[in-house]
Structure 1
Amino acid sequence: MEEMESDLWQALERSAAFFEGSAAFEPIPQERINPVDLRRKMGLTQAQMAPMMGMSLSGYRKWEQGQRAISGPAAVLLRVIETAPEAVKQALAS
């Protein structure tokens, strides 16, 4: 519990420093997930994966074919689907 509290305080201090202008924002680098590999790993079709991403089938296909870039938020959603697919399915079902 003490470690979590310490982490929270550090995050709060970094946030305050950023908003005061005394610290620069440094994004956390993320390795991009290949949507084809993830979909196949999950045993899904493109038609099943597209709604999980909140997009049309044609839009999803363009991702897989490299005709459309994957945005930052979409990359994060791919990461969430990779680590907690049931949570995403549950959220979409409600």
Structure 2
Amino acid sequence: MSASKIIEGMREAVAYAQGRPVPVRETVVAVPAEVDVKALRERMGLTQQAFARCFGFSVGSVRNWEQGARRPEGPARVLLKVIEKRPEAVLEALRDG
């Protein structure tokens, strides 16, 4: 990062602290509408119990999602999508926690 970007950021921070309007960047990320939990779990070769234990879900939640009785809420869907794409990253983060 260049010095001019750092100075610009500091000026914006001061302006914000003083209540003046500052330009903001907004990133909008769409939460996936559906995640096939059963297919994801089976692809990983895990039982419902093992999947729940590995990723911090309750077994009941995993069972309900797979049976269609419930649908994962936004944060769970995001986590499931990350597990789908990069399970090793999630496991590493949880191990280091």
TM-score of Structure 1 vs Structure 2, range by shorter chain: 0.5 to 0.7
Summarize the Cα distance change of 1:86–1:69 in structure 2 as closer, same or farther, 3 Å threshold: same
Residue 64 (structure 1) shift:
0.9
Deviation at 1:45, TM superposition (A): 0.9
Gaps of at least 5 residues in structure 2 are 1-22
Task: Name the residue aligned to 1:56.
Answer: 58
Would you say the 8 A contact 2:35–2:77 is kept in 1? yes
Unaligned runs of at least 5 residues, structure 1: 1-11, 16-24
CA distance in 2, matches of 1:29, 1:93: 25
**Structure-2-length-normalised TM-score:** 0.63
- TM-score when normalising by structure 1: 0.64
Name the structure where helix makes up a greater proportion of residues. Answer: 1
Q: Equivalents in 2 of 1:79, 1:27: separation in Å? A: 13
Which structure has the larger Rg over C-alpha atoms?
Answer: 2
Q: Which runs of 4+ in 1 moved over 3 A?
A: none
The answer to whether the Cα contact below 8 Å between 1:35 and 1:63 also exists between their aligned partners in 2 is yes
Checking the alignment, whether the CA contact within 8 Å between 1:35 and 1:78 is kept in structure 2 is yes
Q: In structure 2, which of residues 29, 43, 46 is the aligned counterpart of residue 44 of structure 1?
A: 46
State the percentage of identical aligned residues. 43
User: Higher relative contact order at CA 8 Å, sep ≥6: structure 1 or structure 2?
Assistant: 2
Aligned residues: 74
Structure 1 residues 53 and 66, CA, compared in 2 at 3 Å: closer, same or farther?
farther
Deviation at 1:48, TM superposition (A): 1.1
